[in-house]
Amino acid sequence: METKKRLKIAFLSFYSGIIERGVETLIPEIAERLGKNHEVVVYQAGPGYGKNYKIVQIPTSWKPDTLQEPLNLKRRLFLDNSSLAVMEFMRKILPTLKKEKFDVVVPWNNGWQTILCRFNNVGKVVSIGQSGLGWDDRVNLWLFPDYFVGFTKSQCEWANRINPLVKTVTIPNGVDTIRFTPQGEKLKINFATPIILCVAALVPIKRQKLAIKAVSLLKKGSLVLVGRGEMKDELQKMGDQLLPGRFKILESAYKDIDKVYRTADVFTFPTSAWESFGLVLLEAMASGLPVVANDDPIRRDIVGGGSGLFVNPEHTKEYAQALQKALDIDWGVKPREQASKFSWDEIAKKYEQLFLKIV
C-alpha cells in the first residue's frame, strides 16, 4: 500500500471488545491494513489486540442486553441507555482526541460520537453509514462531516438526497476469502437437512420471525439462527411451535462462525430494507452459500444477479418458494465469485485513498 504521507487515524468504536457484530469485525480488518503505513488508534470499551495498530480501552459498565431500544423520542435524542453510555465514553476520550491532533477521526457508532467530534477540534471527521437508511445517518449528514461513506451506491444516492452539500463516497464492507471458504471444518449440528442458516442479532429489525414462518411451509429442512439479542426467548418459542425438531438457536463465537456457514445449504437474510449492509451476506457467499435476501437496493448491490434470490419476506408463501428454489438450484462457484469482489485489501486501499484526499 503506497502512501504519500503517514497519517494519524483514530477509530472510535465503543462496542468493540464487548459484542461481535458487523462493524466490530470489520474495524480490525481495516485497522490492521492501514496500520502498516499509518499510525492507527482504536478507542473501544472492551479488550482487544492489534498487531499493526494500537487499542486504547475505555472501560464501561454498559451491558449488551440494552443494545436495541425502540426508536422513540429518547432514542431520537440519543438519551437512551446505549447512547448515554457512548456519550460517557466520548467524555472520557475527548481531551485525548484534542491533544493527539489526529488527521482523521472516524466515529463508527454515530450519535454522540459524531456530534461531539463535529463540535470539537479533533481533526477531519469521516462519518460511516453504518446505521443504514434511517434516523442516525440523517443526523450524521445534517452534522456536515468532512465525508460520508456509504456501503453501497444506493446508500450514497440516499445520502445525497438527504444533504446534497456533504461529499459522499461508496466503500463497501469486505470479507476474508481465505478464512471463509466452502472447504474446511464444519460445526456438527445433528439436524435434518437441508439446513437454512440466518446469522444476525436477535433483534426486531432482522425479522427472523419471517424466516421461521417461511421454513415452516417447507416439507423438509431445518432453520438455524445464530446470534444473541433481546428476542431470543420469543424466537425460540415460535420456532419450537412452528418447526418442532427443525429449529435451533446458536450463540456461536465469531471465531467459529466460518464452521457454521459450512454446515448450511442456503443462507437467508430477511432484514429490514434500511439496514446499511449485511457483512454476513459476504461471509455466506464466500463460504459457497447461495442467499435468499430481502428485495431492496442495498441487498441487490451486495449479492448481485447470480448468487441468490430476492424476495419480500413479508409474503410468507413467496419467501418459502424462494428458499425451496435456492435449495434446488446448482449455484456452483457463483456465490464465491461474487464475494471475491469484496477483498479487505481493496477496501482498506479505498479508505486510505479517502483519508489522504481529505487531509
Q: How far apart are CA 117 and CA 125, in angstroms?
A: 7
Supply the pLDDT for residue 71.
Answer: 63
Please compute the mean of the pLDDT values over residues 129-150 and round it to a whole number: 87
- Cβ neighbors of 276 (< 8 A, separation 6 or more) are 129, 130, 131, 132, 133, 137, 151, 155, 298
Q: What percent of the chain has pLDDT over 90?
A: 65
Asked if pLDDT for residue 154 goes beyond 90, the answer is: no
Q: How far apart are CA 139 and CA 164, in angstroms?
A: 14
Q: What is the pLDDT of residues 35-68, one digit of tens each?
A: 999 999 999 999 998 999 999 999 888 776 545 5
Please compute the mean of the pLDDT values over residues 178-205 and round it to a whole number: 89
Q: How far apart are CA 106 and CA 103, in angstroms?
A: 10
Task: Give the Cα-Cα-Cα angle 233, 236, 241 (nearest 5 degrees).
Answer: 130
Please compute the mean of the pLDDT values over residues 7-19 and round it to a whole number: 93
DSSP state of 6: P
Q: How far apart are CA 226 and CA 195, in angstroms?
A: 13
Q: How far apart are CA 298 and CA 154, in angstroms?
A: 6
Q: Is 121 helix (H, G, I), strand (E, B) or coil?
A: coil
* Residue 1: closest CA among 358, 343, 359: 343
- Cβ neighbors of 228 (< 8 A, separation 6 or more) are 19, 64, 201, 202, 251
Catalogue all structural domains in the chain, each as residue range(s) with its CATH number: 8-174+343-358 (3.40.50.2000), 195-339 (3.40.50.2000)
Q: Which three cell numbers stand for residue 73?
A: 423520542
Q: What is the pLDDT of residues 101-123, one digit of tens each?
A: 999 999 998 889 999 999 998 99
